[in-house]
Amino acid sequence: MDNPFSIIDQRLETIEKCLKDLLSIKEDLQQVVFNKAQEEDFTFTAEALAGYLNCSKSTVLRYKRDGVFPFYQAGRSFYFKKQEIDQALSSTKKKKAAGQF
């Protein structure tokens, strides 16, 4: 009979390997989304836009609610056009910069 600690150690190693694989897949997917997002006509979901902007989904939804980001709705899903998001971000920067002086 195997030592129970040895069994636990083997299982933890398996879990660690699976987690590393998942992180690698996540990084690959983020790179694909980032590369795809370079196209002007790209459309984001709220989750993808949060990844693109490196913020939380709740921040994206707050900006949507406050009218900072234009959006499109299909059923319960929201979509954001990259070109419109980039324009909204650049106009927000200009307003903030003008208000600082």
pLDDT in tens, 30-71: 777 666 666 667 888 999 899 889 899 999 999 999 999 999
pLDDT at 28: 81
Dihedral class, residue 28 (left if φ above 0, else alpha if ψ from -120 to 50, else beta): alpha
Q: What's the distance, CA 37 to chain centroid?
A: 11
With b for 16 or more beta-carbon neighbours within 10 A and e for fewer, the 74-98 pattern comes to: eeeebebbbeebeebeeeeeeeeee
Q: Residue 99 above 60 pLDDT?
A: no
Residue 85: C-alpha distances to residues 22, 98, 100 (Å):
29, 20, 23
pLDDT of residue 58: 94
Q: Whole-prediction pTM value?
A: 0.56
